[in-house]
Structure 1
Amino acid sequence: MTDFQSLGLSDGLLSAISENGYDTPTPIQKQSIPLILQGRDLMGLAQTGTGKTAAFGLPLIDRLLEEGRRPAAKGTRALILAPTRELVNQIAKSLVSFLKDTPLRVTSVVGGVSINGQVKRLSRGTDILVATPGRLLDLVDRDAVKLATASYLVLDEADQMLDLGFIHALRRIAGLVARERQTLLFSATMPKQIDELAKSYLKNPARVEVAPAGKTADKIAQSVHFMDQKAKTDFLIRQLQDKPDGVSLVFCRTKHGAERLMRKLSQNGLSAGSIHGNKSQGQRERAIRGLREGEINVLVATDVAARGIDIPGVSHVYNFELPEVAEAYVHRIGRTARAGAEGEAVALCAPEEIALFRQIEKLIGIEIAVASGDVPPMAAAASRQKRGNGARGGNKPARAQSSSGSNDNSAQAKKPRRRRPNGRKKAA
């Protein structure tokens, strides 16, 4: 099979694919599309940027067109769940591009924007609903959408949905959609929980794996610079100033850290924006549009942006702070070298981050080239981190998956238990 025509898609959809400039399917598309057209449940494992949206979107559209039904009021025929607002919007935009001259409707719902407009759009029903779990359940609780008519369920980037604490939301949603359904699960990594999720929700699924978990794109040139944390900002500014024509993404661990860094870059004459959980949906969309249209050339982000941003021409990804979950590194640098292009991933590693760096190398299975600085010994780095934590009162960095600040998973977070100043619980 060398082109889309050989995959079994309908003539009308093949015409839309051609108009969108696609001629050769990616490996995940080649393997997944025929199986989905057969009605099989499927578990797809592929790294970010490999064309997973079309892998499930094209056969899903084909099957919905073949059925020829109309959606019921407040109902949906197919439900696609994704972990972040950006990914939901990207999926919806991609699907719409294939629906020219068809009666199918795509509706997307995310947090961070008014729910009233979403309630109104859903009132007449939709063929394909793309949603974040948190906002979807808000709409379910308002009786604005009925999921029992959904005979297709897609879980995209399932591993990140689990990282963000959506497991209970997924269980509830799975119980609301039609029992007789086709379920598709796509994930970039395969932790134990994903395997358990697949066994719970998929029936005799076909398994498609086109890249080992943790594998990075071949055309990404990776390097690391070792330095003290305090030296990182000036170093990054010099790097960005030396590449005035580059389009760069810079990743931080926390929302406040990302905002501070963006302001520092702007003060030094760089055209920069930021995207994180403290930004409204409109602000996030304007920042992404600004980078895409060349109004800015540096976007500082938390891991909320590691999946779901598809911006052609991103030349560099800078890990200003290393993620505390190694898999997040793969998703971060996957924002460059997309669709066969080349790109660079540059990590800035402080001594207290050396353990995180070694975890990343272990995951991706390669030694990242050292561009500058001396590699700190693990023991010294651990001692330094321990002393630093003690000086800060024992505070530890926030976990990478929660520092993204995505408002859509706020209902999933557990509040810390209050303790009295002496450390004893308050008496009942």
Structure 2
Amino acid sequence: MSFSELGLQGAFAEHIDAAGYETPTELQQQLIPLMAQRKNALVWTQSAAGKTGAFLIPAIDYILKNPLEEHHGARVLVLTSRRDRVNQITYTIKRLLGDEQQIRTGFIVSGRPYQPQMRLLRRPLDLMIATPGRLNDLVDNNKADFSHLELLILDDLTAIYKKGLHGLIDKILAQKPEGAPIIAFVRHDEEVTPYARQIIPNAEEITIQDEKTLLQQLPQRVHLADDYTHKLALTDHLLDNLKNKPTVIFTATTKTAKTLADNLANHGHTADSTHLLPEEERNLQACPILIVPDQENFTPELSGNECIIHFEIPEKVETYQVRMQNILGVERTEPVLLLVSAHDRDHLKKLEEFRGEAIEQKSIPGLEPKQLPRSTSNRTRGNTGTRRNASNNGAKTQGNRANKQRPHNSAARKNTGSADDRQQRSRKSFYGQRKASATQQDTPYEIGSWEKQDYVPRQPRSDKKVVIRYKEKKRRTLITK
């Protein structure tokens, strides 16, 4: 479905395509027809994709189809809870309209002089964007008139209610005409939900699951690894158990993707990276094991039945969402696997903070990580100082006694005291704090140990031969008879 199929004005629909809105989102497909029919709507969502365009596109389309009549005040009011949202909405309006079409817009925010904003309220405006704090002051001083309001949009009703400014909404509803529709975006809350249904009765309700909720519903599992070699061992073990099931492996860079494909070939797995394949072969039908680097900006077509392995965790959560955008909301029985090394732990923390909960961790017998994450809380510290005496005379007396008892020879000073005392002094730094090297006992770890004693790689079939043709930038599997 395209925006032209939603009944928008022809010239405006062309500007929408030029602004980068190619395909309407699920929210836009449901909300734009309702606003075109002048119906009230309650949208239950956290942060759905295309939220700003979902109410701006039909609002601007209504203004363009119905030219402005001379009257005071705004025809469309967008009430948002934050100043940064005002800037974002204003920027989106400029993108949607371009340079040819223009509408009269204005904004009311706190921190600006009162006089220009009071003059703005007396002008005929097509669309006004306001924050509740300053607008509430102007309404209390009888400087705002909403008797000619034709559309009211509440960008975040929950945030406005939590700030205690929902009284402004009641004042606006008391002034606006009865036929003016109300569009409200609400997050479910014990207090806000009944209030929203009270002020907007008989409203069409739209429930959109945001990407955060969809990520929480997606089954995921973390396998901790020590380094790249350990990740390779885990990947080899997982591919052996999958038994030729279509698999997608995500990496961050094309360099890692190419190296991983070569290493998997040495273990008997035929894997191809998308940046080395032509477009017609970038699918799981042609390549059962497909490696997709983020640098390629290629999103494979996923149905939800494939095995998905994140060999590297992206630094940004948005990149992880792009990887999973085709399977969000799809029921899966097999979890998405994340291989996390020390380099990826900060990225995993960002992902878990976005989800609001930790991801399940599991170890494979025989492939457990040998290096545990270090904790600074377990480091022991020495005395940071001595308690001062009650008087300076006492301090001088103790200092003199210490000088008398201290040997004059440096060698004698080193030999005084027991062996434990000498060891305790040697472990202290210049400021009395123990050195970290004395308390940390790191077990030596040899890179590549997963391919030596504890780990036996899978032997390739005798009748299979992997041939790598670097000139053609592709890998082929030849069956020798």
- TM-score, L = length of structure 2: 0.46
Q: Any conservation in 2 of the 1:7–1:33 contact (CA below 8 Å)?
A: yes
Q: Specify the SS of the correspondent of 1:134.
A: helix
Looking at structure 2, the residues matched to 348 and 42 of structure 1 have their Cα atoms a distance apart, in angstroms, of 32
Q: Which residue of 2 aligns with 1:137?
A: 136
Residues 323-359 of structure 1: CA deviation (Å, up to 9, x unaligned): xxxxxxxxxxxxx55994899574699xxxxxxx9xx
Residue 107 of structure 1, CA deviation: 1.0
Q: Which residue of 2 aligns with 1:198?
A: 196
Residues 44-90 of structure 1: CA deviation (Å, up to 9, x unaligned): 123325111111111111112222233523x1101111111111221
Q: Specify the SS of the correspondent of 2:191.
A: helix
Q: Which residue of 2 aligns with 1:76?
A: 74
Q: Which residue of 1 aligns with 2:123?
A: 124
- Over alpha carbons, which structure has the higher Rg? 2
Amino acid at match of 1:112: G
Looking at structure 2, the residues matched to 196 and 45 of structure 1 have their Cα atoms a distance apart, in angstroms, of 13
Distance change >3 Å, CA 117–CA 372, structure 1 → 2: farther
Quick check: 1:208 aligned with 2:199? no
Q: Any conservation in 2 of the 1:70–1:127 contact (CA below 8 Å)?
A: no
Distance change >3 Å, CA 345–CA 31, structure 1 → 2: farther
Amino acid at match of 2:26: P
Q: Specify the SS of the correspondent of 1:70.
A: coil
Looking at structure 1, the residues matched to 216 and 26 of structure 2 have their Cα atoms a distance apart, in angstroms, of 15
The alignment covers a number of residue pairs equal to 253
Distance change >3 Å, CA 149–CA 104, structure 1 → 2: same
Residue 161 of structure 1, CA deviation: 1.5
Q: Specify the SS of the correspondent of 1:98.
A: helix
Distance change >3 Å, CA 175–CA 340, structure 1 → 2: farther
**1:182-261 to 2 correspondence within 5 Å?**
182-187=181-186, 189-211=187-209, 215=213
Q: Which residue of 2 aligns with 1:93?
A: 91
Q: Any conservation in 2 of the 1:28–1:46 contact (CA below 8 Å)?
A: no
Residue 136 of structure 1, CA deviation: 0.9
Amino acid at match of 1:191: D
Looking at structure 1, the residues matched to 5 and 163 of structure 2 have their Cα atoms a distance apart, in angstroms, of 38
Q: For 2:358, which of 357, 362, 367 is the aligned residue?
A: 367
Looking at structure 2, the residues matched to 345 and 174 of structure 1 have their Cα atoms a distance apart, in angstroms, of 46
Residues 202-225 of structure 1: CA deviation (Å, up to 9, x unaligned): 2421111120696165899x999x
Distance change >3 Å, CA 214–CA 103, structure 1 → 2: closer
Q: Which residue of 1 aligns with 2:249?
A: none
**1:333-344 to 2 correspondence within 5 Å?**
336=318, 340=322
Q: Which residue of 2 aligns with 1:51?
A: 50
Q: Any conservation in 2 of the 1:71–1:127 contact (CA below 8 Å)?
A: no
Looking at structure 1, the residues matched to 115 and 349 of structure 2 have their Cα atoms a distance apart, in angstroms, of 43
Q: Specify the SS of the correspondent of 2:55.
A: helix
Q: Any conservation in 2 of the 1:81–1:132 contact (CA below 8 Å)?
A: yes
Distance change >3 Å, CA 168–CA 121, structure 1 → 2: closer
Which has the higher relative contact order, 1 or 2, with Cα contacts under 8 A spaced 6 or more apart? 1
Amino acid at match of 2:40: D
Deviates further, 208-217 or 155-164: 208-217
Distance change >3 Å, CA 367–CA 114, structure 1 → 2: same
Q: Specify the SS of the correspondent of 1:54.
A: helix
Residue 14 of structure 1, CA deviation: 0.3
Q: Which residue of 1 aligns with 2:39?
A: 40
Q: Any conservation in 2 of the 1:219–1:337 contact (CA below 8 Å)?
A: no
Looking at structure 2, the residues matched to 117 and 223 of structure 1 have their Cα atoms a distance apart, in angstroms, of 56
Q: Which residue of 2 aligns with 1:152?
A: 151
Looking at structure 2, the residues matched to 21 and 106 of structure 1 have their Cα atoms a distance apart, in angstroms, of 22
Residue 97 of structure 1, CA deviation: 2.5
Residue 153 of structure 1, CA deviation: 0.7
Residues 355-410 of structure 1: CA deviation (Å, up to 9, x unaligned): xx9xx97xx5x534689578x9xxxxxxxxxxxxxxxxxxxxxxxxxxxxxxxxxx
- Runs of 4 or more consecutive aligned structure 1 residues displaced over 4 Å after TM superposition: 216-220, 314-317, 336-345, 369-374
Q: Which residue of 1 aligns with 2:30?
A: 31
| Runs of 5+ unmatched residues, structure 1 | 225-313, 318-335, 350-356, 377-428
Q: Specify the SS of the correspondent of 2:27.
A: helix
Looking at structure 1, the residues matched to 217 and 24 of structure 2 have their Cα atoms a distance apart, in angstroms, of 19
Q: Any conservation in 2 of the 1:57–1:95 contact (CA below 8 Å)?
A: yes
Looking at structure 1, the residues matched to 348 and 140 of structure 2 have their Cα atoms a distance apart, in angstroms, of 43
Q: Specify the SS of the correspondent of 1:13.
A: helix
Residue 122 of structure 1, CA deviation: 3.0
- RMSD of aligned residue pairs (Cα, Å): 3.8
Distance change >3 Å, CA 177–CA 20, structure 1 → 2: same
Q: Any conservation in 1 of the 2:80–2:155 contact (CA below 8 Å)?
A: yes
- TM-score, L = length of structure 1: 0.51
Q: Specify the SS of the correspondent of 1:48.
A: coil
Residue 155 of structure 1, CA deviation: 0.7
Q: Specify the SS of the correspondent of 1:204.
A: coil
Distance change >3 Å, CA 372–CA 20, structure 1 → 2: farther
Q: Which residue of 2 aligns with 1:180?
A: 179
Q: Percent identity?
A: 26
Looking at structure 1, the residues matched to 65 and 30 of structure 2 have their Cα atoms a distance apart, in angstroms, of 21
Amino acid at match of 2:147: A
Distance change >3 Å, CA 345–CA 24, structure 1 → 2: farther
Amino acid at match of 2:175: L
Looking at structure 1, the residues matched to 178 and 105 of structure 2 have their Cα atoms a distance apart, in angstroms, of 22
Residues 288-342 of structure 1: CA deviation (Å, up to 9, x unaligned): xxxxxxxxxxxxxxxxxxxxxxxxxx9658xxxxxxxxxxxxxxxxxx5599489
Q: Any conservation in 1 of the 2:77–2:149 contact (CA below 8 Å)?
A: yes
Distance change >3 Å, CA 348–CA 37, structure 1 → 2: closer
